[in-house]
Structure 1
Amino acid sequence: MSGGDMSAEKETVKSVYFKGFHGYVIEGDEKYLYEAYGESRKILEEGITELTMIGLHHEVLAQIFESEHISPSEEIFEKSADYCKEWMAPFEVKLQSYRALVDELNQKNEQLEKEIESRKEIQRELSDSKAYFQSLIENAQDIITVVDYKGVIQFASPSTEHILGYPHQKLIGKNAFQFIHHEDVNKVKHVFYDIRSNGEMARTVVFRFRHNNGEWRYLESIAKNIPSSREGSIIVINSRDITNRRKRMQNLKEHRAKLTEAQQIAKVGSWEWSLHEENRSHMEWSDEMYRIYGMVPGKDKCSYDIFVNHIYPSDRRRVKAVLDAALRNKSTFSIEHRIVRSDNEVRTLLGRGQVLTDENEKITKMIGTVQDITEQKEKEVRLRQYSEQLRKLSERAERTREEERIRIARTIHDELGQMLTVLKMDVSMMSGKVTKKLPEDLTDYYEEQSEKISERIDTIIKSVQRITTELRPEVLDDLGLIEALQWQGREFAKRTGLDIQFKTNINKTDFLREDIATTLYRIFQEAMHNVIRHADATSVKIELQKIQDNLLLMVDDDGVGINRDQMEARSAYGIIGMRERARFLGGDVYIEGKENEGTRVTVRIPMEKE
């Protein structure tokens, strides 16, 4: 049916429906509906579809209600629906088949749409995946190369350019072996042919490859045979530039060699004790560690038990206690101990170490070093022996010097003093006898000269007394230490104008040995000389105390105060001398100074030599 005929038929159907519905609605007679459906059935048989007829039915019914301004009642709709259903009965089966077909077509259409969307999604994923892998290939630190069975390059990834300097397209078609170092090419060919003849087995090889700038770069390559690809039989090679890694390994090897050499020279070995739960006995030793213990590196085994068993028996408990404390406190440690080497030689070691933990503060290992200090300890023993011998020699020299001072002082006092006294008496007697026999004009001159000679003799006698006192004050021998200190203090006060105060809790010092009294007196003299020379003081307090079995002598001034550099200066011979004198008797000298507040010298001498 043409488009024009279809429009005419629709208008005819609408006219029939309108007449039938209008009569039914206005007059309420169902014959109008019966006639309308009957005529429309005839028209339906002439070519108009059921769906079109139903649409026209509803369209006309709506026009009637709108034109007549009639509100459709439920009864009218029901009656109209009944007639329409009766009218459609002969075509119901056909209509249902149409509906089933439409539903099936709709389902297939939905499935087709879903399949199309799924294919689009797969296409997008393939596109993204392609872009992703293309990006990986272009930016990878590895080189991906495909060669045929002759070694001709079929593909080279873009990373070839920034790793080896070659534009990847320019390598295609060239034989890969021409770029390999002549010393490595046979090794690489052997691996290549082995891969080619052994199916899909992968092999690894390291070789040198010429960079575009002429340098040789070390490559580590993994190659695999793909015998059946779209391009035919090929070998896929993944290569990584390990030049810098090899340099670092070489540097590490050199550093280890230098460390081993340094450890051997210094006789220092290093160790590492793994503290994992599964094997707490495992240790790693450096080569020098093996040599220190008299063992052979690479031949003898090492472990914590071996380490402990080599410790000298009487030192073993102490060493284990130090290690246990370090583990408990997660701290460092240092200890000297002896070992018994494999050849039964006893050596002395200095061990140091520390405990290492992970991010959770869990102990993972202990590391440390041992240094063979046997020769050093032997030298220390000899040095102590020499020092003791020197101390005894110095003590003997000081004692001899003091004895010589006493002898000289007594000789001068006894002999020279007496001779000067006799000389003065002789001059006086001679002056009296001579003046009686001389003329009167010479008597005055002779008496004047005699007086001058007597005065000179008195001066000499005083000098002799002063010298003998400085060599060995008589008051020290005659009256004791307290009177000697007081007398010496007064003498210093006369010469310097210092305000010197003295106090003691001792009544008498006749119980003191001569060497103790002499030592305290000489240290006191040196301390006072230092005050006069360096302190710029106005007053000095001197105190002698007996506390338990020790004598304490304190000299406290109010001067500028000595500092540490001055106390420890190598040129501070006076301080060194005081300390040596005290040390001869098992005593000590302590010096404290505060800037602009003064200096205190404290001497401790035990009553019985320590």
Structure 2
Amino acid sequence: MALVNDHLGSDGFLGVSALKLASSPFPLAEKETQTGVSINDNLRLTDQHIQDGLSCLKQLKQGAHHQHVSSEELERKRISRELHDGLGQLLTSMGLHIQRCLDGCDGQKSATQSQQRESLEAVSSMVKQAMSEVRSICSAIRPAILDDLGVIPAISWQCRQITKVCSDTQVVTDFDVDEESIPEDYKSVIYRIVQESLNNAIKYSKAKTITVSLLQAHDAIHLMVIDNGVGFDPSEIQGNLGMGLVGMRERAESVDGRIRIDTGIDQGVQIRASFPLQ
């Protein structure tokens, strides 16, 4: 089973970079008469290796920053578009209907009573739509179920829903951690990673069984989502991770967590994340 790495990582952890600085050791002097010129040459060469390494580190850091900013900007644009296309249009229509009623009240236009009632009924309907839009957007930012029930019941509910809808797939849960032991800022991250992992498994894996595990061990919270599906060739996405995988990595990194994916053709997919407990 192979590890999925992006262009920032080579140690099996998504988004974690390992850079080996090449260096040339000083050649061993075969004679005590080795000149100072050769030593200076080696010093200059070593210094050049160090400078090259620092430059590479800087590029990696900039690349990671730009990718993170790009992902955040895409999320802002998505929310902005939903606000504009959803709430924006509803509020515009509501304003027109309200103005129609006001014009009728002021006698500026001959709006009949039935027309005013029609406008008020339309406004009432659109207010309900607007409330639904707001709930949907808020849920996309932070699911209300996390606050109402907690992350463990929320994951359990999500797994049950998938089992109901996808009769050919069984989702098994294994929890060995108390809700109170999971820091609040971890809960949304864990829930979203599970959500994305399950969505990917349902869409692509053709798995018969998906196991979701959450446990506490070695001063950390450990999350695992494992399926027995078709898997995929990790070499096909090296350096070109989809937004879903990038999003999972960035969510984990936002709370100093780490995430890795083990997969291969006909070997299923194993997503493992760990979050340190302070």
TM interval, short-chain normalised = 0.5 to 0.7
Q: Which one has a larger percent strand, Structure 1 or Structure 2?
A: 1
Matched letter for residue 531 of structure 1: A
What's the counterpart of residue 467 of structure 1? Answer: 137
Distance 2:174 2:117 in 1: 50
Distance 1:496 1:460 in 2: 31
Q: Deviations over 1:223-259 (max 9, x none)?
A: xxxxxxxxxxxxxxxxxxxxxxxxxxxxxxxxxxxxx
- Answering whether residue 43 of structure 2 is matched by residue 347 of structure 1, we say yes
Of the candidates 173, 179, 184, which is equivalent to residue 502 of structure 1?
173
- Answering whether residue 105 of structure 2 is matched by residue 379 of structure 1, we say no
How far residue 505 of structure 1 moved from its aligned partner, in angstroms, is 1.0
* 8 A Cα contact 2:234 2:264, kept in partner: no
Distance 2:48 2:225 in 1: 44
Matched letter for residue 534 of structure 1: Y
What's the counterpart of residue 304 of structure 1? Answer: 30
What's the counterpart of residue 21 of structure 2? Answer: none
How far residue 571 of structure 1 moved from its aligned partner, in angstroms, is 4.8
How far residue 537 of structure 1 moved from its aligned partner, in angstroms, is 2.8
What's the counterpart of residue 4 of structure 1? Answer: none
- Answering whether residue 266 of structure 2 is matched by residue 600 of structure 1, we say no
Of the candidates 190, 199, 204, which is equivalent to residue 529 of structure 1?
199
Q: Deviations over 1:406-430 (max 9, x none)?
A: xx79xx8xxx7xx99xx8xxx9xx9
Matched letter for residue 504 of structure 1: F
* 8 A Cα contact 2:142 2:188, kept in partner: no
The gaps in structure 1 that reach 5 residues or longer are: 1-268, 270-291, 294-301, 311-339, 349-371, 431-441
How far residue 343 of structure 1 moved from its aligned partner, in angstroms, is 6.3
Identify if the C-alpha distance between structure 1 residues 549 and 401 changes in structure 2 by more than 3 Å, giving closer, same or farther: farther
What's the counterpart of residue 64 of structure 1? Answer: none
Q: Name the SS for the 2:137 alignment partner.
A: helix
Q: TM-score, with normalisation over the residues of structure 2?
A: 0.59
Q: Name the SS for the 1:589 alignment partner.
A: strand
What's the counterpart of residue 240 of structure 2? Answer: 570
* 8 A Cα contact 2:71 2:247, kept in partner: no
Runs of 4+ in 1 over 6 A off after TM superposition: 396-402, 445-453
How far residue 469 of structure 1 moved from its aligned partner, in angstroms, is 0.7
Q: Name the SS for the 1:601 alignment partner.
A: strand
Identify if the C-alpha distance between structure 1 residues 572 and 397 changes in structure 2 by more than 3 Å, giving closer, same or farther: closer
Q: CA RMSD in A?
A: 4.6
* Identity among equivalent pairs (%): 23
How far residue 388 of structure 1 moved from its aligned partner, in angstroms, is 3.1
What's the counterpart of residue 486 of structure 1? Answer: 156
* 8 A Cα contact 1:552 1:602, kept in partner: yes
Q: Deviations over 1:244-291 (max 9, x none)?
A: xxxxxxxxxxxxxxxxxxxxxxxxx9xxxxxxxxxxxxxxxxxxxxxx
* 8 A Cα contact 1:590 1:603, kept in partner: yes
Identify if the C-alpha distance between structure 1 residues 306 and 398 changes in structure 2 by more than 3 Å, giving closer, same or farther: farther
The gaps in structure 2 that reach 5 residues or longer are: 1-23, 102-112
For 1:337-416, what aligned pairs fall within 5 Å after superposition?
Answer: 342=38, 344=40, 347=43, 372=45, 374-391=47-64
Q: Deviations over 1:13-63 (max 9, x none)?
A: xxxxxxxxxxxxxxxxxxxxxxxxxxxxxxxxxxxxxxxxxxxxxxxxxxx
How far residue 607 of structure 1 moved from its aligned partner, in angstroms, is 2.3
Q: Max radius of gyration: which structure?
A: 1
What's the counterpart of residue 76 of structure 1? Answer: none
Distance 2:74 2:243 in 1: 17
* 8 A Cα contact 1:582 1:588, kept in partner: yes
Matched letter for residue 380 of structure 1: G
How far residue 576 of structure 1 moved from its aligned partner, in angstroms, is 3.8
How far residue 554 of structure 1 moved from its aligned partner, in angstroms, is 0.9
What's the counterpart of residue 548 of structure 1? Answer: 218
Instruction: Identify which of structures 1 and 2 has the higher relative contact order when contacts are C-alpha pairs closer than 8 Å and 6+ apart.
Output: 2
Distance 1:598 1:342 in 2: 55
* 8 A Cα contact 1:560 1:598, kept in partner: yes
How far residue 478 of structure 1 moved from its aligned partner, in angstroms, is 5.1
Q: Name the SS for the 2:229 alignment partner.
A: coil
Q: Name the SS for the 2:245 alignment partner.
A: helix
What's the counterpart of residue 476 of structure 1? Answer: 146
For 1:45-444, what aligned pairs fall within 5 Å after superposition?
Answer: 304-306=30-32, 342=38, 344=40, 347=43, 372=45, 374-391=47-64
Distance 1:303 1:559 in 2: 59
Q: TM-score, with normalisation over the residues of structure 1?
A: 0.30
Matched letter for residue 199 of structure 2: H
What's the counterpart of residue 10 of structure 2? Answer: none
Identify if the C-alpha distance between structure 1 residues 606 and 389 changes in structure 2 by more than 3 Å, giving closer, same or farther: farther
